[in-house]
Structure 1
Amino acid sequence: MPIYLEIEGFHGSVDANQYSGCISVNSLEFKVDRKIPNSRELEIIPKPIVSELRMARNSDELSAALYGVAKEGDLGNKAFVHLLHTHGQTDIKFELSYPSLIISTDDDEPSETLSVSFSRIDIWTTVHHNAADIRERWVTGYDLSADRIF
């Protein structure tokens, strides 16, 4: 039975049966720490599932993705605008909350969907200075459940 992962703020889903350590949603690559669990494994796999997103440069896809997060969690226009104007590499680390299971019987074959939402977001940027990389952590963290930046 196919297993799909849905990530809030990103449209689309991925087939977790094709797990290879990295999944893509709308051209954004997520590094998943471990295999996406199915319903029988949910109880034995520690949670939350932590994923990372990396892109070499900001793009419309990244902007749209962050906007999707900002709409739900009110990340703030200032952080959003700063990310849009960042040069170099941007690393975003999402901590995902406990997945909830949706069993779908669409088509002829039933499938399982693990639906997750963001509980925390960390954003780093890499800037170039004197031929050396300097990593700035300009947003230390955003706890969506507490609705605050810390």
Structure 2
Amino acid sequence: QKYLNKISGPLLDRIDLHVEVTPVPFSELSKAENSEPSAAIRDRVIAAREIQAERYKDVDGIYANAQMSSKQLKEICVISQAGQTLLKAAMDKLNLSARAYDRILKVSRTIADLAQSPDIKVEHLAEAIQYRSLDREGWAG
């Protein structure tokens, strides 16, 4: 917490994903549980990158969602009324900045691309909001 307090809010705003990684107990590590194979994850990432390459093929210098402009954000990251409600609640509760809002939309578009979804769904937004853990009060405390 002491270290985190030294990092300025504007710097944190420029980081797309904030995830607290806690130690995993041995009992969890040793479980014989089926998980998604790395090859399947790689295939999903390649497919998402292809979706983005197609999306930005006519735009010079942009090849990924993270690079889109504010104008493109409004055109590409259209969300439903339910999504707007969720994002507004998160913005209010977490006291997020306009920059964090943009980052959440870009990350949610990428999550939707990974799911090969043409639309950003509420669950994509919810996941993207979860990746802003350093914005939450009391993080690591």
Q: Return the TM-score normalized by structure 2.
A: 0.25
Q: Return the TM-score normalized by structure 1.
A: 0.24
Bigger fraction of residues in helix? 2
Bigger fraction of residues in strand? 1
